[in-house]
Amino acid sequence: METYQGIRRHGWGSISLALENLTITLASGYMDIYQDIRRHGWGSISLALENLAITPASGYMETYQGIRRHGWGSISLALENLTITLASGYMETYQGIRRHGWGSISLALENLAITPASGYMETYQGIRRHGWGSISLALENLTITPASGYMETYQGIRRHGWGSISLALENLTITPASGYMETYQGIRRHGWGSISLALENLTITPASGYMETYQGIRRHGWGSISLALENLTITLASGYMETYQGIRRHGWGSISLALENLTITPASGYMETYQGIRRHGWGSISLALENLTITPASGYMETYQGIRRHGWGSISLALENLAITPASGYMETYQGIRRHGWGSISLALENLTITLASGYMETYQGIRRHGWGSISLALENHTITLASGRLATPWAKRGEGKK
């Protein structure tokens, strides 16, 4: 595979799983330096996660992000920012959290809130989790709710034998109606019936019941969750949700959609300041995304992250890193991408995969996308599903394999 993000990958046999920022599992051989980490000469990597937490089958891994990991036998689960679950022994302090001496970790979350199968976990980010049997909802980097039976590890993780998954997220946990899914990202997808929804970072909709506390949010007693995203912004059928990440949300009727870092849609009234952005006095927010892209019903929103957004009517969908769909006019340059003069964007995903109703979008991350009719689903790193036509990217033949 050609160079991607300064990583030269070539000449290996297979890649079992490749994650965000291209953590590669070499069947043999070695991978060049990536993010100042020298990885070389091991047999296999059972699990590689975002920002390259690597599990050597044996041997050791050099220092990564000031964490020295060495001499263990296996790592059952590794999460974002490199928190490691040792099968035995202990791990040194990481991010001021000392984890050691447990047998297994059934669930690991973003920034490593760990759920031991039994016992307890020390306080992490002010959350104490302990003593439950199962978790109906678990988030980023893989938490799956099998309808029945059990789930093996995921991400380097064999998924099989469950009934269905109503929602699976980033890194493409897919809901095949039946059959199986092969690896994705260096990963051929084929032979399933349908995918109801695949989003970033895996949020599951339990049909009923409740989920215990997650990331300091107590969720219980609701009927359904229409859509919940990274860091668990939840749609309550009624009632209210307690404070989450310093945002007090209370007394509203419903939340149509809220995304990473909890951008909330109050049915009325206003939401208090969040991340230095004052939002107040608008009617509704149809969709707000990571880093708080807000859709005021009218008026304008103040400058956020050096982007001035003003004077448009509505934003149908705004995604991570703020891909904005103005109803008319144009949006100023954001992250060196000039977007202007289109009608609407039906779906925009991480790293700004844009669906233009007409016209074209200029090059983004070295990928030229232009002249298509619609995109039914766009995923991380620009996996594009064209309703018709073709995709003019380095992966122009992505449709192959769909019979």
For residues 113 and 143, membership in a common domain is answered with no
For residues 201 and 141, membership in a common domain is answered with yes
- What is the model's pLDDT at position 63? 25
pLDDT, one tens digit for every residue, the chain (403 residues): 222 222 223 222 222 222 222 223 222 222 222 222 223 222 222 222 222 233 332 222 222 222 223 222 222 222 222 233 322 222 222 222 223 222 222 222 222 223 322 222 222 222 222 222 222 222 222 233 322 222 222 222 222 222 222 222 222 233 222 222 222 222 222 222 222 222 222 222 222 222 222 222 222 222 222 222 222 223 322 222 222 222 222 222 222 222 222 333 322 222 222 222 222 222 222 222 222 233 322 222 222 222 222 222 222 222 222 233 322 222 222 222 223 222 222 222 222 223 322 222 222 222 222 222 222 222 222 222 222 222 232 223 333 333 3
- What is the model's pLDDT at position 11? 24
Does the pTM exceed 0.85?
A: no
For residues 143 and 105, membership in a common domain is answered with no
For residues 41 and 163, membership in a common domain is answered with no
Write out the two tokens for 41.
Answer: 């000469």
Domain boundary among 78, 101, 133: 133
> Measuring CA to CA, which residue among 235, 79, 248 is closest to residue 155?
79
Write out the two tokens for 307.
Answer: 């982007």
For residues 138 and 104, membership in a common domain is answered with no
Buried (b) or exposed (e) across 98-117, using 16+ Cβ within 10 A? ebeebeebbbbbbbbbbbbe
Kindly state whether residue 69 falls inside one of the protein's structural domains. Answer: yes
For residues 25 and 117, membership in a common domain is answered with yes
- What is the model's pLDDT at position 384? 29
Domain boundary among 133, 148, 183: 133
Kindly state whether residue 307 falls inside one of the protein's structural domains. Answer: no
- What is the model's pLDDT at position 183? 23
Task: Say if CB 367 and CB 380 are below 8 A apart.
Answer: no
Give the total number of structural domains in the chain.
Answer: 2
Q: Which structural domain range is residue 165 located in?
A: 134-224
* DSSP character at residue 87: S
| Residues 6 or more apart in contact with residue 162 via CB below 8 angstroms | 146, 147, 148, 149, 151
Kindly state whether residue 263 falls inside one of the protein's structural domains. Answer: no
- What is the model's pLDDT at position 160? 28
For residues 12 and 89, membership in a common domain is answered with yes
Kindly state whether residue 242 falls inside one of the protein's structural domains. Answer: no
- What is the model's pLDDT at position 288? 28
For residues 102 and 142, membership in a common domain is answered with no
For residues 23 and 117, membership in a common domain is answered with yes
For residues 50 and 128, membership in a common domain is answered with yes
Domain boundary among 101, 133, 165: 133
Kindly state whether residue 388 falls inside one of the protein's structural domains. Answer: no
Kindly state whether residue 83 falls inside one of the protein's structural domains. Answer: yes
Task: Say if CB 46 and CB 74 are below 8 A apart.
Answer: yes
For residues 86 and 160, membership in a common domain is answered with no
| Strands 307-310 and 83-86, bridge-based pairing | unpaired
Kindly state whether residue 192 falls inside one of the protein's structural domains. Answer: yes
Kindly state whether residue 238 falls inside one of the protein's structural domains. Answer: no
